[in-house]
Structure 1
Amino acid sequence: MRTTNYLTLLAAPLALAACSNDQETSEPAGTMMTDNMADVDNMPMSDDMPMMESPAAGQAGSGEGSVTEIDEADGKITIDHGPIAAVGWPAMTMAFSADDESMRKVAVGDRVTFEFRTTEGGGGELTAIAKQ
C-alpha cells in the first residue's frame, strides 16, 4: 500500500507537468491552433485512405459502374463506379449532372458505361451513358 501511495505522489506532478501550457504567450483555454504547430500541409497521410484529387474542369474521363439513384428534379444520376485513372479518382459513389435524354436511358440498378467531363469543385457532367 505504501508503494502505491508513493508512486501516485510521484506520478501526479509528472502528469501535471506534461499537461501544462509551456508556450511563451498565454492563450485562452480551448485554443486549437498556435503559431508553433506543425505545418499541416506537410503532414503524412495514411496509405490506406485514398484521397480524391480535384482535376481541372473540362478533363474527359470514362468509367463503368452501377446506377444507384436518378434525381430528375436536380438533373443528376448517381453512379457507384470503379477507379478512373484519367482524372485521378478512386472508386466511389458520386452524382453526375445529366441531361433528360441520359436520365431516360437508364434505371436504378443498371450496370453502365459512361463518359464525362469534370466540372468546377471536383464534380462531373455526363456526356454519354449506356447500359452494359
Structure 2
Amino acid sequence: MAAPLALAACGSGDDTEMMDDTAMAEGQMADGQMPMDGGDMSMMGSDSAMQTASAEGTVTAIDADAGTITVDHGAVPAIEWPAMTMAFEADEELRQDVAVGDTISFDFTTDESGNAITSITKK
C-alpha cells in the first residue's frame, strides 16, 4: 500500500490520475490525509486513550531488572482480554509487596506504550 501512495505523491501524468482514484478508493480523505483504518496505526495518536482495568491472578515471575511482574490472570471483560500470562511494568514498591505464587487482585493501565500495574492486593 505504501508504494502506490508514494507514486501518487510524485504526480506524474496519467499515473497520477489512476493513483488518485486508487487512493480515494482506499479511503484517502480529500485533504490527502489517510484515516485510521483499524490497522496497526489505530492505536496511535489521540484516538488511543489509556484504559484502566482490574484483574485477578497469580504472580508467576518478578523481574527486578526489567521492572516487571508476570501474572497469570483471568479474563478482563472491561477491555476484552482473554485469560493469559503476561508481564506488567510495576514500580519497585509493588514488586517488593508480592512473591511468586501469590494470588492477587490488581489494577492496571494499558495503552500503546505498554501495560502497568498501579495497585496490588494479596488475596
TM-score range, shorter chain: 0.5 to 0.7
Residue of structure 1 equivalent to 2:89: 97
Paired positions, count:
77
Cα distance change of structure 1 residues 96 and 57 upon mapping to structure 2, 3 Å threshold: farther
Match of residue 125 from structure 1: 116
> Which structure shows the higher helix fraction?
2
Q: Which aligned segments of 4 or more residues in structure 1 are displaced greater than 6 angstroms?
A: none
- Does residue 58 (structure 1) correspond to residue 53 (structure 2)? The answer is no
CA contact (8 A) 1:96 1:124 kept: yes
TM-superposed deviation, 1:57 = 4.6
> CA deviation digits over 1:72-128, x for unaligned, max 9?
00000000000001111000000000000100110000000000010316x411010
Amino acid across the alignment from 2:119: A
TM-score (norm 1): 0.55
- Identical-pair percentage: 52
Instruction: Give yes or no for the alignment of 1:110 onto 2:97.
Output: no
Unmatched tracts of structure 2, length 5 or more: 1-42
Q: Choose which of 70, 76, 86 in structure 1 pairs with 2:78.
A: 86
Instruction: Provide the alpha-carbon RMSD of the alignment.
Output: 1.4
Alpha-carbon distance in 2 for matches of 1:86, 1:113: 15
* Greater fraction strand: 2
Q: 2:68 aligns with which of 58, 72, 76?
A: 76
- TM-score computed with the length of structure 2 as normaliser: 0.59
- The aligned amino acid for 1:80 is D
Q: Distance in 2 between matches of 1:71 and 1:64?
A: 19
